Structure 1
Amino acid sequence: MESWNQMSADGVRSHAAPGVNKRIDEQVERCVRHMAQQDRKDITPYLEKLEREWDVGRTAMVAGSLVSLVGLWLGRGKPSGWRTVSAVASGLLLHHGLFGFGPLAEVVRAVGKVRTRREIDLEKFALKALRGDFERIPKNDGGPLARANAALVAAQS
């Protein structure tokens, strides 16, 4: 089955193994289907949890920075390979910052099942639609400007 999650502009997702993407998509689909059977009020706490979820970029940056700091600390004052570890971690962080993906992000994603910000947002918007947040958008009342403003307000809730 082809994935419903077609985010080709997502660098991390496009460079991840298809099995990793499929596993994450299936998790999102199970969650949204489960929440569709719950009361609307039960969706809000889960949305709050999603707001706090770390994405691949943040996780990779923290992991890379931590490895770099540990390498510097262990290699302090004497020649050792630990400074090389620090340099490699810094290079991986630079690569991720410049290109939006990299080996560090792929490892974090495969090992920790960490999602991209776009994947998290996709689940959030699906749940907000289930909760009825987008029903406030007027069909034809007030013209295009009123509809645009209502859509922006609905997307923020």
Structure 2
Amino acid sequence: MIWPSTLRVPAHTDKEVNRKIEQTTIKKIASAALAGPAALDRRLAELEREWDIERTLEANAGFFSLLGLGLGRTVDRKWFLLPTVVAGFLFQHAVQGWCPPVPLFRRLGFRTRTEIDQERYALKALRGDFKNVPAITDEKLFAQIGALLQTVRR
């Protein structure tokens, strides 16, 4: 099955890893919300610099392809196999949303662009960037942030 682009990686990620990524996101949102407007701005700036899993895969594929080409040219022709394997991984990821490095990167906390954007929009909503979004109170902050993330996923 070919999954929609926004669901490919989470669909092929262990449920516990997805849960941990979501819990980390909720904690970061709550921390910024409780610390005030300057913290919301700082967290939004951090999100602008965060590498998503696609960029991470592309950078690693480029590195290992160049490494394989260099070693194939200078050490042993067998190293030319490395760029071929890497290209296969990239193709597999493009079609299925999974390739062997994905579980490792997900366990390291790399998120999809959609997951990063969900946090971004939740922070912007807390900052008051959007109208008609209910105010969040401290007593039910975590539950309300979870509901807010569900809203921005639609």
- TM-score (normalizing by structure 2): 0.75
The count of aligned residue pairs is 131
Q: Is it true that 1:67 corresponds to 2:64 in the alignment?
A: yes
Aligned partners of 1:12 and 1:102 also within 8 Å: no
Counterpart mapping for 1:6-155 below 5 A: 9-76=6-73, 79-110=76-107, 112-135=108-131
Task: Determine the C-alpha separation between the residues in 1 that align with 2:11 and 2:82.
Answer: 27
User: CA–CA distance in 1 between the matches of 2:7 and 2:45?
Assistant: 24
Residue 45 of structure 2: SS of its match in structure 1?
helix
**Structure 1: gaps spanning 5 or more residues:** 1-6, 138-157
Aligned to 1:154: none
Separation of aligned partners in 2, 1:8 and 1:92: 17
Partners of 1:12 and 1:106 within 8 A in 2: no
SS of match in other structure, 2:73: coil
Residue of structure 1 in register with 2:145 after alignment: none
Superposed CA RMSD in Å reads: 2.5
Higher RCO, 1 vs 2 (CA within 8 Å, ≥6 residues apart): 2
Q: Percent identity?
A: 36
C-alpha separation in 2, matches of 1:117 and 1:37:
25
Comparing 89-98 with 122-131, greater Cα deviation is found at 89-98
Matches of 1:116 and 1:9 in 2, distance apart? 8
Tell which deviates more after alignment, 20-29 or 37-46.
Answer: 37-46
When structure 1 is superposed on structure 2, of 55-64 and 29-38 the one drifting more is 29-38
Instruction: Name structure 2 gaps, 5 residues minimum.
Output: 134-154
Secondary structure in 2 matching 1:75:
helix
